[in-house]
Amino acid sequence: MNHIEIPFWKKKSLIEMTRREWELLCDGCGRCCLEKLMDHKTGKVYYTDLACRHLDLETCRCKIYSNRTFLASDCEWLIPDKIQKYRWLPKSCAYRLLMEGKELAWWHPLISGNPETVHLEGISVRGKAVSSVGISEDEFENHIISDRIWGRTAGTD
Ligand code: SF4
Ligand code: SF4
């Protein structure tokens, strides 16, 4: 009999994953670190092109990740229990996809084996976001971006 290795994200639920597996699941798109606005009548969430001041706009990774509890009190930590409630996560987000019983896309670094594919496919914020430093909340509306700017395989939000 041939043995195949079943990847951890296919054999474990989000809650069963180790801390390392949980972190590996993040595709590094940086989209959850963009400022968002919600229409309170419809519940629709609008993404802006304004990135958290702690996001590295080139790597799309948090510059203070291990210290964000202390340095960014408004940063939303993703934990398994919250994924279902966080409807603002982009449809391409690996945590959301798995929670919805869907597959990871080909460009996810765990599938492609290449951390650049999330950028090459246009899923990440690289080249699409600016820092929110110095921008007042009154101006956020002027920074709303269309779902269409994301890669063609990202889905709309
Ligand atoms: S949206 Fe999801 S996959 Fe993308 S950076 Fe945030 S947590 Fe990671
Ligand atoms: S503190 Fe880091 S993880 Fe939190 S929103 Fe800002 S860049 Fe993202």
Whether the per-residue pLDDT at 84 is higher than 90: the answer is no
Cβ of residue 110 lying under 6 Å from some atom of ligand 2: no
Residue nearest to atom 2 of ligand 2 (CA): 62
For the beta sheet containing 34-38, the strands, ordered from the edge strand earlier in sequence to the opposite edge, are 34-38, 45-51, 130-131
Cβ of residue 61 lying under 6 Å from some atom of ligand 2: no
The ligand 2 atom nearest the CA atom of 55 = 7
Probe ligand 1: pick from 14, 56, 79, 93, max atoms within 8 Å of CB?
93
Whether the per-residue pLDDT at 73 is higher than 90: the answer is no
Q: What is the pLDDT of residue 21?
A: 97
Instruction: Quote the tokens at residue 101.
Output: 């019983």
Q: What is the pLDDT of residue 147?
A: 84
Residue nearest to atom 4 of ligand 2 (CA): 75
Per-residue pLDDT band for 153 (boundaries 50, 70, 90) equals low
Vertex 83: Cα angle to 79 and 87 (nearest 5): 145
pLDDT per position as a tens digit, 88-102: 999 999 999 999 999
pLDDT per position as a tens digit, 118-151: 999 999 999 999 999 999 999 999 999 988 888 7
Q: Say if residues 51 and 126 touch (Cβ distance below 8 Å).
A: no
- The candidate with the shortest Cα–Cα distance to 91, out of 156, 143, 2, is 156
Residues 6+ positions from 47 with CB-CB distance below 8 Å: 31, 34, 36, 90, 144, 145, 147, 157
Residue nearest to atom 6 of ligand 1 (CA): 32
Instruction: Quote the tokens at residue 116.
Output: 């650049």
